[in-house]
Structure 1
Amino acid sequence: MIARIDDAADPRLAPYAMVADPAALARAGLFAAEGRLVAPRLIASAYRVHSLLVSDSALERLRPVLETRPDIDVLVAPAGIISAAGGYDFHRGCLALGYRGAPRELAELLEPGAGSLHSLVVLEGVSNPDNIGGLFRSAHAFAARGVILAAGCGDPLYRKAIRTSMGATLDVPWAAANEWPADLGLLTSRGYRVIAMTTDAGAPPLRDAIAHLDRPAALLFGSEGYGLSRDALAAADVQARIPMPNAGADSLNVVSAASIALYEARPRVR
């Protein structure tokens, strides 16, 4: 249903006032997605849509998608009201709210099924939303089975992570690892080879580590500042590094490293 709003005090805007307060939005069981490119990804995803708040121009851009979903509440307002309601200007005339739903359990993510031969991305302490979004975008591009987030990781449903991922956090399945690093043992028991990515010069090159890979890989990445914890490294089946020809370079951004690792691992688990 499409409705027009011309008053910034309209009570239908109340949920959007939480957009600038991610904790309050999460407590309400909601998340925000912004922009005309991301909103259709939300509509097409498994997440239930709460509503959209759009400008007239954004409505016209999204109309073909919205015509397929007449059940979605669409609020049309001037750009100034949208900015005032959401608390910031980087929405390009389109804000959307979705329901978080029940968190996916790790065991559910690991159930046999479609994509079970593809790699998993496992993260420890990756908190930056740009990195979270970039990692999900790479996971989506290289058809990863899913993403597992240990303690200290950022929220994939934070609006900046969603925007950076181009909506991939809404498509790629993910789950939290609540028993860490013990959950790495669960991955091994489910048939994954846990490969901890490191900058340690003593670790074998990634290509060597996966040269005879006969099962899907769970690629483990740590924070850019500190890398993986000792416990996580110890729990992995093998450690591996990405060799860099430039001796003056000691590391890669975690998103770049994950993209390379996913590309290298994927052909061996088709």
Structure 2
Amino acid sequence: MRKLENSELDRKSIQDFKNSTKTPLIIILDDIRSLNNIGSVFRTSDAFLIEKIYLCGITATPPNKEIHKTALGATETVAWEYAENVQEVIQNLKKEKVKVYAIEQVENSIFLQDFTIEKETKYALVFGNEVFGVNQEAIQLCDGTIEIPQLGTKHSLNISVSAGIVIWDLFKKINYL
């Protein structure tokens, strides 16, 4: 077994990325305080060809040196847009027939492993503030909520970790199942 060199990884150019068929998944980051978390979500979104990221509320936007530290250039590949009001973004996406799910612990949430996708459907995932989570008004506008099951003493995950878990799971379900 030999570790692959960077030149062997078949990385896309920025233009190749932009021309690629995207995963029908939109990420909505609302009131994210940590610039490192924002950058990490960009990087994960690049890895899985995510269609777009909405940055809402107090979430910082590129160009930003601190976001760039963890995004490593993904702000140049993944389409993004700033919108002050997350509720408006959710309402507009739903008008476009996008299914919107909050990633949150709420009554009647669907555990991630039980969430099934509908073919030919585009999804948006709402991730909320590191302390307060997705705000209640946004949750009420969503088509549902997805929860990552957690069995330990801590029932919270870092936003970038949560995004990585959920994006990978839905990417796999959309593309391979």
* TM-score band, normalised by shorter chain: 0.7 to 0.9
Aligned equivalents of 2:111 and 2:58: distance in 1? 27
| Deviations, residues 189-227 of structure 1 (Å, cap 9, x unaligned) | 223210100133642202323x14331210110011111
Partner of 1:160: 66
In the TM superposition, 1:59-98 aligns within 5 A as none
Partner of 1:130: 36
Asked whether the equivalents of residues 195 and 240 of structure 1 are also in contact (C-alpha less than 8 Å), the reply is: yes
Residue 134 of structure 1: CA displacement?
Answer: 0.7
Which of 40, 43, 54 is 1:148 aligned to? 54
Query: Does residue 252 of structure 1 match 2:164?
Result: no
Consecutive unaligned residues of structure 2, counting only runs of 5 or more, are: 1-12
In the TM superposition, 1:6-25 aligns within 5 A as none
Aligned equivalents of 2:126 and 2:86: distance in 1? 13
Aligned equivalents of 1:201 and 1:188: distance in 2? 22
Query: Does residue 223 of structure 1 match 2:139?
Result: no
Aligned equivalents of 2:141 and 2:107: distance in 1? 19
Aligned equivalents of 2:69 and 2:46: distance in 1? 14
Asked whether the equivalents of residues 133 and 156 of structure 1 are also in contact (C-alpha less than 8 Å), the reply is: no
Query: Does residue 237 of structure 1 match 2:140?
Result: no
Partner of 1:213: 118
Residue 131 of structure 1: CA displacement?
Answer: 0.7
Q: Could you say what secondary structure the match of 2:126 adopts?
A: strand
* TM-score relative to the length of structure 1: 0.54
Q: Could you say what secondary structure the match of 2:90 adopts?
A: helix
Q: Sequence identity, in percent?
A: 23
Residue type of the alignment partner of 1:254: I
Aligned equivalents of 1:263 and 1:45: distance in 2? 21
Q: Could you say what secondary structure the match of 1:123 adopts?
A: strand
Aligned equivalents of 1:170 and 1:122: distance in 2? 17
Consecutive unaligned residues of structure 1, counting only runs of 5 or more, are: 1-43, 47-112
Aligned equivalents of 2:20 and 2:14: distance in 1? 17
Asked whether the equivalents of residues 162 and 170 of structure 1 are also in contact (C-alpha less than 8 Å), the reply is: no
Aligned equivalents of 1:174 and 1:222: distance in 2? 17
Partner of 1:190: 96
* TM-score relative to the length of structure 2: 0.81
Q: Which runs of 4+ in 1 moved over 4 A?
A: none
Asked whether the equivalents of residues 48 and 168 of structure 2 are also in contact (C-alpha less than 8 Å), the reply is: yes
Q: Could you say what secondary structure the match of 1:172 adopts?
A: coil
Choose between structure 1 and 2 for higher RCO, CA contacts under 8 A separated by at least 6 residues: 2
Partner of 2:4: none
Aligned equivalents of 1:244 and 1:208: distance in 2? 14
Quote the RMSD (CA, aligned, Å). 2.1
Residue type of the alignment partner of 2:160: V
